[in-house]
Amino acid sequence: MNPPFHFHQGTVPLLISMPHAGTRIPAEISAQLMPVAQDKADTDWHLPLLYNMAQELGASVLHAEYSRYVIDLNRSPDDSSLYPGQDTTGLCPLDTFAKQALYPQGKTPDAAEVQRRITHYWQAYHQQLQAELARLLALHGRVILWEAHSIASQVPRFFQGKLPDLNFGTADQHSCAISLQQALADTLHNSRTEPVYSHVFNGRFKGGYITRNYGQPEKNIHAVQLEMSQCLYMNEAAPYAYRPDLAAQVQPLLRALLSTCLNWAAFQKGE
């Protein structure tokens, strides 16, 4: 089995996590899935490439090897809903964002198969995430977890109309210090990049399991999720090609936001 994640160890108090960037599906699971699964339409495509400034900034980077159709690393292992009362996909998704069935009728994963996937894929990613957060916290006294995500700009199943360009989630200001969220908002407000990107904090996406579970500002662990509309850096239709021309426009703002996190952490340490 391929390693369930890719990891680069950095030197600054910033860990960038990409739990939905994986595209591999093991043969034994692929054989269970409907043909539509091979499109992997719901992938957070190309994020390691989009965030190519991360290592230069000194950040640690963790991204998944396997598709969210295998198991969703940003869901609770007990499969509790992130948004009670709203439609959402689960720990081992049964359908795509477009409500296309991923498994033939009567062939969905049973409890034993779900537990096997938790053991083989989910636990490994979270153990690495926890270990790196602990290492950076011990080194620096505080750490910022940046949850990097992307999604098609229009997904009627989850929201009406077109999503804002940049969707920040801080669990309604519970997963990070309010001053960090304000620093990010100030960076967005003061940005002179073109084009101007729309943004929202704690709108449709408030942060998934990783943001909510690991963001503990009272323990100096601050988590922020950014769900980016994919039209900002890629083609949203298959084969989902990366668009370097578009990416080059938004990457300076991404760099500024990550730098804001590091500057905020340095200021806190200096107090």
**What are the pLDDT digits (tens) for 153-208?**
999 999 999 999 999 999 999 999 999 999 999 999 999 888 999 999 999 999 99
Calculate what percentage of the chain has a pLDDT beyond 70. 99
- What the block records as the tokens of 176 is 């990070």
pTM above 0.75, yes or no: yes
Strands in the chain per DSSP E: 5-8, 14-18, 60-64, 143-151, 166-169, 199-201, 221-229
Q: For residue range 64-93, list pLDDT tens digits in order.
A: 999 999 999 999 999 998 888 888 899 999
Q: What is the pLDDT of residue 116?
A: 98
CA distances for 84 relative to 68, 77, 79, 80, 87, angstroms = 20, 16, 12, 9, 8
Determine the length of the chain.
271
Fold classification of 5-270 (topology level): Aminopeptidase (3.40.630)
CB–CB of 22/68 below 8 Å?
A: yes
Q: Which two tokens stand for residue 108?
A: 């969905």
What is the structure's pLDDT at 270? 61
Is residue 24 over pLDDT 70?
Answer: yes
The structure tokens listed for 68 are 């969210």
User: When comparing pLDDT for 134 and 267, which is higher?
Assistant: 134
The full set of domain ranges for the chain reads 5-270
Tokens 């990416």 identify what position?
A: 247
* pLDDT confidence tier of residue 271, bands split at 50, 70 and 90: low
- Coil vs helix vs strand at 181: helix
- The pLDDT of residue 268 is 86
Please give the pLDDT value at position 124.
97
* Angstrom distance (rounded) from CA 142 to CA 121: 28
Angle between helical axes of 178-190 and 244-270 (0-180°, round to 10): 140
What lies within 8 Å, CB to CB, of 59 at 6+ separation is 10, 12, 14, 15, 16, 146, 258
Find residue 228's DSSP bridge partners: 150, 166
Whether the predicted pLDDT of 269 surpasses 80: no
| Residue 1: pLDDT over 80 | no
